[in-house]
């Protein structure tokens, strides 16, 4: 069923009795051409592009819970392509371009809103760093504007410009950045994949990976054995655990990242603003709540909830930037498990096991990558080799030393 103004009008006249479920609740078949493990945004996008771009439709997405129960439905919805290193920038810009046509492409309202992402700077050194990143972006044909203090004031007059320790000097703005409704993105990809024949199998945890003669042959699941000669692992925060089923030890650590939503208020923040002197960022949802977050919890965990010291740290950052935040009540707070890679950049690649492919290492920012991650991973699985766009997001870079250290933070960027 196509969604359009006509179907909406028709259903309005029929008491909305004719809407069909957006995707089938498929039961697993004994075998598929390819199996995707993980029904988050990236797994569903991979299945969608495998079917759409490569004509592979005898595939299943296996999700241990319900789709979107992981980080796909837990993130703070920011999309952007403001990276410095070429290996990252061309990938994230591909994602931004896919976002720009996504809703028409998969015929679903994902509330993609290009309201702008502004990174504030607070010192001359930070301005120079941001100028360099902005120039890098422009060299890739990506929009970037360096604003001075007056430019930022014109957009956001109520920030604390006179903060004694961290006065705001300006910011790097990407106007094409913004937000999208996170779970709608998972639903849109699910519906689009389902319409092309993909089986989306929920409550189907993968508990084993069958490897014979160095090649993958199938997976053990909570709903029985499923044979497949191609298996893609897209398990975000559970990556280490699932990859260990194939005997792989990865440069990935799992950490909790928290998000917060305040009570609803009148329109205050048009776009996304990030504090440059602490880990804090904020936007406002269409319902009026301020949506904000900060740093990861500093210890390894698989729990989808966070600790109080980080709550305190985020609130400190928030009130330093926006003192009026102190008068708001926080309505909701939750955590998601992040797959932190050891250079801060993702991995979309083959593995040493034939037919087994890996997509992980999304750190703080895999939501914005969702379309390109699916697009590139689908190419990698279908063709058996990476596309040029994900050619630097390789697994062996941790052995060869060709790291993508975007922040220049060195090893363990998760602890900086």
Ligand X SMILES: Cc1cc2nc3c(=O)[nH]c(=O)nc-3n(C[C@H](O)[C@H](O)[C@H](O)COP(=O)(O)OP(=O)(O)OC[C@H]3O[C@@H](n4cnc5c(N)ncnc54)[C@H](O)[C@@H]3O)c2cc1C
**Residue numbers of the site for ligand X (CB under 6 A)?**
37-43, 62-65, 69-72, 74-78, 205-206, 234-238, 242, 257-259, 293, 336, 338, 362, 364-368
Q: Give the Cα separation of 204 and 207 in Å (integer).
A: 9
Q: Give the Cα separation of 110 and 106 in Å (integer).
A: 10
> Exposed, middle or buried, 328 (CB in 10 Å: 0-12/13-18/19+)?
middle
Nearer to ligand X, 94 or 127 (CB): 94
The C-alpha angle 231, 53, 43, rounded to 5 degrees, equals 40
**Segments in 348-394 forming alpha helices (H):** 370-383
CB of 346 to ligand X, least distance (A): 8
Per-residue tokens: 49? 């592009």
The sign of the torsion formed by the CA atoms of 295, 300, 303, 308 equals negative
Nearest alpha-carbon partner for 27 in 231, 208, 186, 204: 204
CB of 331 to ligand X, least distance (A): 15
Nearer to ligand X, 96 or 169 (CB): 96
Q: Give the Cα separation of 40 and 231 in Å (integer).
A: 16
**CA count, 13 A, side-chain hemisphere, 238:** 20
Nearer to ligand X, 127 or 236 (CB): 236
Nearer to ligand X, 56 or 219 (CB): 219
Nearer to ligand X, 368 or 379 (CB): 368
CB of 339 to ligand X, least distance (A): 7
CB of 307 to ligand X, least distance (A): 13
The contacts of residue 36 (CB under 8 Å, 6+ apart) are 43, 46, 47, 50, 59, 60, 61, 62, 231, 232, 234
Cβ-closest position to ligand X: 40
Task: Specify the DSSP class assigned to residue 305.
Answer: S
CB of 111 to ligand X, least distance (A): 14
The contacts of residue 86 (CB under 8 Å, 6+ apart) are 136, 140, 392
Nearer to ligand X, 127 or 243 (CB): 243
Contact 383, 52 (CB under 8 A): no
Count of residues for the chain? 416
C-alpha radius of gyration, the chain, whole number: 21
Nearer to ligand X, 237 or 318 (CB): 237
Contact 68, 181 (CB under 8 A): no
CB of 266 to ligand X, least distance (A): 23
Q: Give the Cα separation of 253 and 363 in Å (integer).
A: 9
CB of 41 to ligand X, least distance (A): 3
CB of 65 to ligand X, least distance (A): 5
Nearer to ligand X, 71 or 341 (CB): 71
Nearer to ligand X, 23 or 364 (CB): 364
Nearer to ligand X, 149 or 183 (CB): 183
CB of 251 to ligand X, least distance (A): 16
CB of 274 to ligand X, least distance (A): 10
CB of 206 to ligand X, least distance (A): 4
Q: Give the Cα separation of 125 and 278 in Å (integer).
A: 15
* Helix, strand, coil share (%) of the chain residues, nearest 5: 35, 25, 40
Nearer to ligand X, 65 or 123 (CB): 65
């Amino acid at each position: 069923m196509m969604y359009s103004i006509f179907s909406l009008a028709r259903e309005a006249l029929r008491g909305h009795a004719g809407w069909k479920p957006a995707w089938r609740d498929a039961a697993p078949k004994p075998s598929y051409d390819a199996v995707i493990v993980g029904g988050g945004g990236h797994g569903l996008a991979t299945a969608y592009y495998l079917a759409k771009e490569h004509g592979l439709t005898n595939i299943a997405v296996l999700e241990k819970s319900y789709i979107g129960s992981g980080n796909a439905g837990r993130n703070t919805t920011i999309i952007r392509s403001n990276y410095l290193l070429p290996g990252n920038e061309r990938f994230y810009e591909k994602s931004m371009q896919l976002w720009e046509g996504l809703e028409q492409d998969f015929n679903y309202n994902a509330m993609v809103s290009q309201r702008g992402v502004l990174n504030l700077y607070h010192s001359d050194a930070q301005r120079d760093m941001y100028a360099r990143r902005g120039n890098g972006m422009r060299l890739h044909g990506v929009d970037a504007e360096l604003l001075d203090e007056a430019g930022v004031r014109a957009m956001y007059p109520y920030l604390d410009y006179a903060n004694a320790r961290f006065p705001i000097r300006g910011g790097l703005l990407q106007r094409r950045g913004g937000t999208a409704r996170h779970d709608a993105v998972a639903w849109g990809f699910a519906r689009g994949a389902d319409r092309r024949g993909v089986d989306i199998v929920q409550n189907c945890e993968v508990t084993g990976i069958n490897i014979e003669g160095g090649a993958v042959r199938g997976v053990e699941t909570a709903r029985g054995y499923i044979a497949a000669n191609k298996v893609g692992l897209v398990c975000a925060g559970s990556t280490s655990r699932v990859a260990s089923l194939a005997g792989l030890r990865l440069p990935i650590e799992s950490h909790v990242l928290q998000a917060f939503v305040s009570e609803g208020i009148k329109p205050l923040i048009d776009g996304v603003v990030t504090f440059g002197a602490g880990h804090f960022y904020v936007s406002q949802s269409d319902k009026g709540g301020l949506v904000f977050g900060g740093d990861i919890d500093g210890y390894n965990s698989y729990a989808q909830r966070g600790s109080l010291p980080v709550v305190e740290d985020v609130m400190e950052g928030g009130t330093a930037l926006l003192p009026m935040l102190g008068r708001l009540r926080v309505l909701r707070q939750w955590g998601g498990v992040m797959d932190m890679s050891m250079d801060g950049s993702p991995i979309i690649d083959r593995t040493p096991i034939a037919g087994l492919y890996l997509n992980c290492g999304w750190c703080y920012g895999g939501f914005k990558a969702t379309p390109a991650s699916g697009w590139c991973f689908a190419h990698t699985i279908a063709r058996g080799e990476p596309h040029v766009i994900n050619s630097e997001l390789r697994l062996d870079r941790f052995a060869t030393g060709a790291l993508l250290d975007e922040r220049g933070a060195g090893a363990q960027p998760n602890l900086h």
